[in-house]
Each structure stands twice: as C-alpha cells, then as structure tokens.
Amino acid sequence: MPVATVNGIALNYQVKGDGPLVVLIMGTGSPGRVWDLHQVPALVAAGYRVCTFDNRGIAPSFESADGMTLDQLVADTAGLIRLLGTEPAFVAGTSMGARVAQELALRHPELVRKAAFLAGHGRLDQFQKTLSAGESELDASGVKLPPKYDAAVTAVMNLSPATLADPNAARDWLDVFEFSGGPISPGVRAQRKMDRDFNRVDAYRKISVPVLSVGFADDRMIPPYLSKEVADAIPGAVYQEIPDAGHFGYLERPDLVNKALLDFFAA
C-alpha cells in the first residue's frame, strides 16, 4: 500500500478498481483493510474506484500517540480525497469513521457526492460515555484481560445475538477475537481518548449532500436510535436499519450492507 503525506502526516492507503471514487473510513482501532473482506470487492465489481486507508492512530499511518482530534481525522480524509484528484467522492464510514464522514459532509460538501454513515451518531448516550471512559481507564491501568474473556466481551459488545446463537458462527468469531487480540497500541489508545462529550445533532441539520444513515438493529456500541437521530436531523436523509446485526454489521450482514450502499450510490 502506498504511503502519502496528507495533512502533514504519513497516511497509508490503497486504491482498487476503476470508475467513480468511493472512500471508506474505518472505525476506532481497526485498519482500513477490514473493508477488503466484503465492501471493497462488491464496490469494485459494481464499477467503482475504492480507496481504503489507515486512519491516524493505525500504523503504518502516523500513530499520533500524543493525542488526536476528530478535526484532524476529517482534515486527513479531505486531504486524501484531494490527493486522489477525482473529487467529489462517494464517502462511507462506520462508527468513528461515520463521525468523520458526517463532519466531512458538513464542512466540505464540495468533496462529497453522497455520504453513507454506518452506525453514525451525533452524540453519545450515558452508556457509551461510561464505556468509553472505562476503556481509557483500562488502557491506562496496564491490565491485560485473559484472551478468552476479552474475546467473549468483544463478541457480546459487537455482534448480534443471532450470530452468537449460531454455534458455528459463534465459535468462528470467538476464535478470531481470541487470536487477534493483543496489547493496545499507543495510536489506538489515542483514538479511544478522543472527545466523548459532544452533541452535533443540531449542526447536522446544515448537511446538504445526499445522506444514507444505516443503523444496526442489535448494536450495543451505537444503538440504532442514535443513527436514526442523525438521519432525522438531515434534510432529505434516508434511514435504513439492518436486522440481526451488531456493531460489526458490515461484517455480519455484508450482503445487506453492500446492497444498501450500492443502491444509494447508484440512485
């Protein structure tokens, strides 16, 4: 993957396919290559040029271990779109990446043709604030959870009960979580420490680009009512809820998520 200097930092990215540009923005703690499992192949097959990248905080992009802001993440994405030289782009983000996409659509409508927010949110409720603060405290403590317990907690927080009720799917996911776990990098810690006390719902009433907000019905991390709240605030925005999907709905129900994205981009 090429590394470019964007917004004054090193940003690791890749581009696949030909056609109109789609930029995919990943959530907290995950590399851009996660999109390669399902979304990139579907978009490339549909005739799009797809860019994925590692947000600051995710090596080999600049880790920004001393801290970062959402404003910086938005500027990084805007700079990458300008670098690719095919603005405006279709943009989609998930979780933290959805927040980046939301702010990008608000501040830089000239760079965004259409925007899709997966598990988007304009604020956090008390549970999410407490969970996020707890994660930061756990990171600072140096305590390492036993791998099996960590895998179980990760599964409960990010997957649908429908997935966990399937013995084969549950086993596969738990194995993935157990063996992909490890120390939290300084960059990911910096992502987790970003501002939790925000409310941008009213600000999003000024978003003027076409928007699709996707909620995942069983999402414990970003419950779907917060995603619908974003759609309700944006003039003309469309809300769609994916059933039997948790926070990782784009991995659990990729066919439904891909169809939602493709139908929206093509409309």
Better-predicted residue by pLDDT, 1 or 83: 83
Residue-wise pLDDT tens digits, 230-246? 999 999 999 999 999 99
Residues 11 and 118 in one domain: yes
Is residue 72 in some structural domain?
Answer: yes
Residues 120 and 139 in one domain: no
Residues 43 and 161 in one domain: no
Residues 91 and 61 in one domain: yes
Residues 202 and 120 in one domain: yes
Mean pLDDT of 74-78: 98
Structural domain boundaries enclosing 176: 127-186
Residues 112 and 132 in one domain: no
**pTM for this structure?**
0.96
CA distances from 93 to 22, 90, 152 (A): 11, 10, 26
Mean pLDDT across the chain: 95
Out of 186, 219, 236, pick the residue that ends a domain.
186
Does the pLDDT value for residue 87 go beyond 80? Answer: no
pLDDT of 212 reads 98
Residue-wise pLDDT tens digits, 162-214? 999 999 999 999 999 999 877 889 999 999 889 888 999 999 999 999 999 99
Residues 121 and 44 in one domain: yes
Mean pLDDT of 84-108: 95
**Nearest one of 205, 245, 26, 218 to 122, comparing CA atoms:** 205
pLDDT of 181 reads 79
Residues 94 and 207 in one domain: yes
Q: Which residues are catalytic?
A: 95, 219, 247
Residues 118 and 227 in one domain: yes
Q: What is the torsional sign of CA 261, 262, 265, 267?
A: negative
